Amino acid sequence: MQEVIVPTDLSRQSRMLLDSMNEFARFGLKKITLLYVEIPGAPLNDFMRRSLQSTVSKLMADGYQAELRMVQGRSPADEILKAAAQSSADTIILPSSGKGKATRLLVGSNSLDVMRRAETKVFLKRFLKGPGGGISEACTLTFKRTLVVLPPKEHDKGFLEKVNDLISKGSMDNILLLNPVSGQRMEYGHGSIKAPEALHDELGTEGYALSNIPKGILEAMRSDNFSLLVLPGCLREPLRGVLRGSPMGQIVHDSKASMLIIPNQ
């Protein structure tokens, strides 16, 4: 996560996300591209422009390389994906209210669309509505407790290598690896990194059916207070079931955990 794209719609969630960028400094974050998608019929006014420029100045004062990119388009998701494809950014970071209802442009269906289609990592930072109705951060320590869901061995394609890299760079600990079909688990962390081949053999992930995965994830999420859920890209297909009644839809809409999707290559 050295170079990231952070789309903003100037909502409270977007502002809170930008205020939490220092959380990602542990991974060597250097450059932040602030992306604003201007929708036809909803032009930027002077106050909004000043707000965006002020945010970039603040990020630069915090020591980051920061730039503002403004584009026009009818689909925020399409423009976010296009901007990512045209840049060297390795991660798209999005805010989410976790309520499954769009409050503005980035919270809701656009976030899900980006998560499904992105060829780079997508980090969904979770914000929830508090008792008073205001948006508040569900977990101030995003990397406090992490659940990593393993793909089938034959679908790994570098996923666990990328997880190991994140653990090493971020000195992450308190991590649980999960085979979501058998329910078999393994405590993990920067002090116990193993080769991907060995991990798949120990947790028995060879050949399990992708269709059996969502239920196992939900059960694990309910049994522990995870602050971050890490998924491989091959599991994005179940995200197409975005209704609350579908298991993966429940994870996206109702979970208090942030999410990181790492695409398979």
- Packing angle between helix 109-117 and helix 76-85, nearest 10 degrees? 30
Along the 265 residues of the chain, how does pLDDT read in single tens digits?
899 999 998 888 888 888 889 889 999 999 999 999 988 887 788 888 899 999 999 999 999 999 999 998 888 899 999 999 999 999 999 987 544 333 344 445 677 788 888 999 999 988 766 655 555 554 457 888 999 999 999 989 999 999 999 999 988 989 999 998 898 999 998 777 889 999 999 999 988 877 667 778 888 888 888 999 999 988 776 555 544 455 566 677 667 788 999 987 6
Instruction: Catalogue all structural domains in the chain, each as residue range(s) with its CATH number.
Output: 3-137 (3.40.50.620), 146-262 (3.40.50)
DSSP assigned state of 148 = E
Q: Which pLDDT value is given to residue 191?
A: 74
Percent helix, strand, coil in the chain (nearest 5)?
40, 25, 40
**Is-contact 234 210, C-beta < 8 A?**
yes
Q: Which pLDDT value is given to residue 242?
A: 47
What is the Cα 256 distance to its own chain's centre?
13
What is the Cα 33 distance to its own chain's centre?
16
Residue 214: Cβ within 10 Å count: 21
Q: Which pLDDT value is given to residue 264?
A: 75
Q: Whole-structure pTM over 0.85, yes or no?
A: yes
Q: Helix, strand or coil for residue 262?
A: strand
Q: In three state form, how does the secondary structure of 61-127 look?
A: HCCCEEEEEEEECCCHHHHHHHHHHCCCCCEEEEEECCCCCCCCCCCCHHHHHHHHHCCCEEEEEEE
Residues 6+ away with beta carbon under 8 Å from 43: none
